A and B are shown apart, each in its own frame.
Chain A
Amino acid sequence: MDTLDLKGIEDRAYGTRSNNGLLDIVIGLGLLGYGLLADIGAYLVPSYALVIALLLQKFVVTPRVGRVRFAEDRRIRERKGIVLIVLLVLIPIPLGLMLFFADKLEGWAAFVSTNTVLILGLFVALGMFAAGWAKSAARFYIYGIMAVLNFGGAQLFAQPHTWPMMSTGAIITVVGIVLMARFISANPVQKAEAA
């Protein structure tokens, strides 16, 4: 009966993509890098996470699970998830600029400027939820809740936003490394190619 459970087969196949820890490592290192280097103005440095992701994809993931193009509904969902995440990354930029150039901080501007860390945490959490929805990976919802708690705690105790960035990023990176180690041990490198 196992081979008739097509949803299960598709889920397991997709799981090799969504549960290999790669996305966790990218997001975790991105947050960690930003948290570590933001104070010295190196805002673009976390892009190294993308380079690491590309290298891991090419040399670790693909040799083990090959290349696959999933069905249309999966691809649409992933595309929507990427659009959502890009929007969540872009929206705080004009918001920050508006606050920076505002003459007076009144109303919503005053609220945002006094709760910056918490609001940043909400954007991070929404990004996690979007990633979890797009990749059908429930652990990203937990990351989102963790981000709200970390950033909320930092707001409460008047800590800079880099602290929750680093702590959230470090935890996600560790989870990603554990997932990738399990993925590597469960999926040996396939050296073969069709004749």
Chain B
Amino acid sequence: MAGARRDQDAAPPELDRLIHEPARLAIMANLFVVDSADFVFLLNRTRLTNGNLSSHMSKIEAAGYVEVTKEFVDRKPRTMYRLTRRGRAAFNSYRQALLSRLEAAEGEPGTEP
């Protein structure tokens, strides 16, 4: 019993602040459900502006969550993005952490059933 109470009182798992930002969360979620995608696909799915998406992608790439492949097709540059194994693990952990927080919040007094 005491152990169970200790588990309930334990601090919920930390949320990855890099992923927690809404735009980056949308990017990560969209990359998580596909194998790889290009910049235009992410623009379309996230509805971010070009500069915004570029900026967020740089941060995600710097964290090692995304691998970037640049190639030229019909003399036009095409940038493909794919979540790395680390990025997938980080996103999974983030989801688990968020879900456990939400589940914990549901049990608290004053919350809607």
Contact = CB atoms under 8 A, between A and B. Distances in A.
Given A187-B44, A193-B77, 18 more contacts: A3-B26, A3-B29, A6-B29, A9-B33, A12-B45, A13-B41, A16-B44, A65-B44, A66-B38, A66-B39, A66-B40, A67-B78, A68-B37, A71-B33, A192-B40, A193-B39, A193-B40, A194-B70
B15 interface: no
Contacts of B76: 193
Contacts of B102: 1
Interface string A1-40: 1011010011011001000000000000000000000000
B57 A194 contact: yes
A6 B39 CA distance: 20
B34 A71 contact: yes
Contacts of B53: 192
A67 B38 contact: yes
A10 B34 contact: yes
A139 interface: no
B35 A66 contact: no
Contacts of B22: 3
Interface string A58-95: 00001111111111100000000000000000000000
Interface of B: 22, 25-26, 29-30, 32-45, 50, 53-54, 57, 68, 70, 76-80, 95, 98-99, 102
Interface residues of A, number: 26
A185 interface: no
Interface of A: 1, 3-4, 6, 9-10, 12-13, 16, 62-72, 187, 190, 192-195
Contacts of B70: 194
6 contacts: A1-B102, A12-B45, A68-B38, A71-B34, A194-B54, A194-B79
A65 to B, nearest CB: 5
Contacts, number: 83
Contacts of B95: 4
A71 B36 CA distance: 8
Most buried by A among B32, B43, B98: B43
B44 A66 contact: yes
Given A4-B98, A9-B29, A68 B36 contact: yes
A9 B40 CA distance: 17
Nearest to A69: B35
A125 B42 CA distance: 36
B102 to A, nearest CB: 8
A193 B70 CA distance: 11
